[in-house]
Structure 1
């Protein structure tokens, strides 16, 4: 990835940059890959192509920024060591679970994943790698740290923090994402994301809660 994209990752996105990326995401939803050009993004966002290149660099840099922007909508604790009570720990798990359901079930994430799958079938795995590294990978790193903190403080008993995160991820999403990608609609109880998230976290805590503490 080029220097411009690397530089962007090291700083906080401005409101203007966030708006531009959200415009790009909407173009993708409405028009697919063909709509996702620098000219179209610049025109729809009311900025110049020069600004896009300055902020995001080449196409891979723009895709990385788009994926990072989408992944940022899933709340994860910036500093897991600030979670010092069991109540905080469970609250963070609930925030994560609810946000994950909302983001993954949204039109933007579905469009990104469908595009990545289509490109991968043609031998182009660039977007797929971005989704894994900049999206799920980053979220996974932060949540693994939270799991390790929870284990350290005795809130849960997990020999492997990353494996525990993966189990939570599975409990939250089940097969929802696959079904949505294939065109299915959510059942009424699944569409109540707050309730579904709470159920998943409760199931996770029942599996891993350290009752000796």
Structure 2
């Protein structure tokens, strides 16, 4: 199909697909205007008109790749919830999928974990909300001994750091046990051994009730707000 008869959306999709292929197989340096134009079957000025510059095109590619991955994550968490899969098993499985994604898409991972880009990525924000949902399920099961936001931050930071460390290491020298060791370390920090078990029982119970507080409709809004304040005080991480 010639560029002239393509719709704007089809042309944009063809360019992003072409750039994604080049990025995956050759890294950012392979995403040249000429290479993308030839693979997409468009004229070079079309790329500038739709994306502004190479940086804009790379951002569009990274967003598309991540959005596809996040959509799969959303479906997975919905299925796990519907099937009543153990929240901790679901969280572990999600961790490993995230590590695998980062290693399989190093260029996209680096683009999206640039601090100046991450906050502007709709797909990254959606991915974080999905992580929050998974952590919330763990909290509601009485297994979390730190506030949910703190647990989310720890898991996210550990995941990014693990992928960055592995990507910076030649494949033949990578430690295959690093991802497991890191998630075990994080979980040992944020989980209680069992609901309501000392010494973390009171805090774990408070975290679990905090997760359920918005659903306690037998309380007034003011009462739920006050309860939330009390529970936040109980679950506050020492030293923060």
Determine if the TM-score, normalized by the shorter chain, exceeds 0.5.
Answer: yes
Distance 1:61 1:138, change over 3 A: farther
TM score, norm. by length of structure 2? 0.53
**How many residues matched?**
181
Offset from partner CA, 1:121-148 (integer Å, 9 cap, x none): xxxxxx6522454264442232123323
Q: Is the 8 A contact 2:62 2:112 kept in 1?
A: no
Aligned equivalent of 1:58:
52
Q: Which has the larger radius of gyration?
A: 2
Structure 2 residue aligned with 1:162: 149
C-alpha distance in structure 2 between counterparts of 1:46 and 1:174, whole Å: 39
Alignment of 1:3-82 (within 5 A): 17=13, 21-47=16-42, 57-59=51-53, 61-72=56-67, 73=69, 75-77=72-74
- The residue number in structure 1 matching 2:131 is 143
Return the alpha-carbon distance in structure 2 between the equivalents of residues 202 and 98 of structure 1.
14
* Alpha-carbon distance between aligned partners in 1 of 2:188 and 2:152, rounded to the nearest angstrom: 12
Gaps of 5+ in 1: 1-12, 118-126
User: What TM-score results when the alignment is normalised by the length of structure 1?
Assistant: 0.58
RMSD: 4.4
In structure 2, distance between residues paired with 1:95 and 1:50: 44
Which of the numbers 174, 177, 185 marks the counterpart of 2:164? 177
Secondary structure at the aligned position of 1:211 is classed as: coil
Matched position secondary structure for 2:195? coil
- Give the 3-state SS of the residue equivalent to 2:74 in structure 1: coil
1:93 aligned onto 2:91: yes
Larger relative contact order (C-alpha < 8 A, sep ≥ 6)?
1
Unaligned runs of 5+ in 2: 1-8, 197-204, 206-240
Aligned residue number for residue 186 of structure 1: 174
Q: CA deviation at 1:167?
A: 2.1
Whether the aligned pair in 2 keeps the contact of 1:93 and 1:201 (CA below 8 Å) is: no
CA distance in 1, matches of 2:155, 2:189: 11
